[in-house]
Amino acid sequence: MKKLTINEEIFLIAIWHLRGDAYGVRIREQIKDLSGQTLLLGTLYNTLDNLVKKGYVSTKKGEPTNQRGGHNKVFYRITERGSAALNEARELHNRLWENIPDNAFGGI
């Protein structure tokens, strides 16, 4: 399986945090909390589409609301494949950072 890019990781983790409430606006907010990045809506959806294409997430339509000008929400859920990818990513990170002391790169 191909390794997750760091952006994909951030997205997947954000989606995981949101459980059942993972739609556009919320995901964007969550990513802001997690990484400090403010995404443009266009970028947000491009990456989400890529994730869907790669099979890491699946979508589900929600109900339209007035506030959304009559458009419906699309909820994102992590798939099994996505979960597997996340596990691999975690393992990789742990292995990488395992034996490196806190001040190995100077500073703090």
Partner 1 sequence: MTTPLKNPPKLARWLAGFLESYGEDYAFHGDIEEIFSDMTRDRGYFPACLWYWLQILCAIPQYIFHTIFWSAVMIKNYFKTALRNILRYRIYSLINISGLAAGIACCILIFLWVKDELSFDRFHANSDELCMVRFSIEEEWWSGAPWALAPTLKDENPEVLKCTRFFSRNVLTKYEENIQYKQSALVDRDFFDMFSFPFITGDPETAFESQNSIVITRETAESLFGQEDPVGRIINVNSNWDLVVTGIIENVPENSHLQFDFLAPVELLGEQLITGWSVESTSYVLLGENIDFDHLREKIAGTAMTHDTRTDNQTTVDLQPITRVRLYEMNGTGPILYVYIFSTIAAIILLIASINYMNLTTARASSRAKEVTMRKIIGASKKEIMLQFYGESLLSAFIAMIFSSILVLLIIPSFNELSSKQLTYNPFSDFGTAFGLLGIVIAAGIISGSYPAVAISTFNPLRVIKGAVSIGSYKSATRRILVTGQFASTIILIIATIIMYNQLNYIHSTDLGLNKENIVVIPLNRELIQNYDAFKTELLRNSQVRNVTNASTIPTRIGNVNPVYWEGQSSADYISMNFVSVDYDYFETFGMEIVDGRSFSREFQTDVNGYVINEEAAKLMQLEGSPVGKMFSIWENEGEVLGVVKNFHSRSLHNEIVPIVFTLGFTFTKTVAFVKVQGEDTQGTIDYIQDTFKAFAPGFIFEYTFLNERFEQQYASDERTGALFRDFSILAIFISCLGILGLASFMAEQRTKEIGIRKVLGASQSTIVGLISKEFLLLIFFANLIAWPAGYYCARYLLGQYAYRTDIALWIFLAATGLTLLLALVTVSFQTIRAALSNPVDAIRYE
Residue 54 binds partner 1, judged by CB under 8 A? no
25 lies in the site for partner 1, by CB under 8 A: yes
Neighbour count for residue 25 (Cβ, 10 Å): 12
Q: Does 45 bind partner 1 (CB under 8 A)?
A: yes
32, 71, 90, 93: which one contacts partner 1 (CB under 8 A)? Answer: 71
Is residue 104 a contact point for partner 1 (CB under 8 A)?
no
Our finding on whether 68 is near partner 1 (CB under 8 A) is yes
Q: For the purposes of burial, counting CB atoms within 10 Å of the CB of 21, is it exposed (0-12), middle (13-18) or buried (19 or more)?
A: middle
Q: Which residues pair with 75 in a beta bridge?
A: 23, 60
CB closer to partner 1, 17 vs 74: 74
Cα–Cα distances in Å, from 3 out to 34, 46, 54, 85?
Answer: 21, 19, 12, 7
Residue 25 structure tokens: 């606006």
Q: Does 46 bind partner 1 (CB under 8 A)?
A: yes
Which is closer to partner 1, CB of 46 or CB of 87? 46
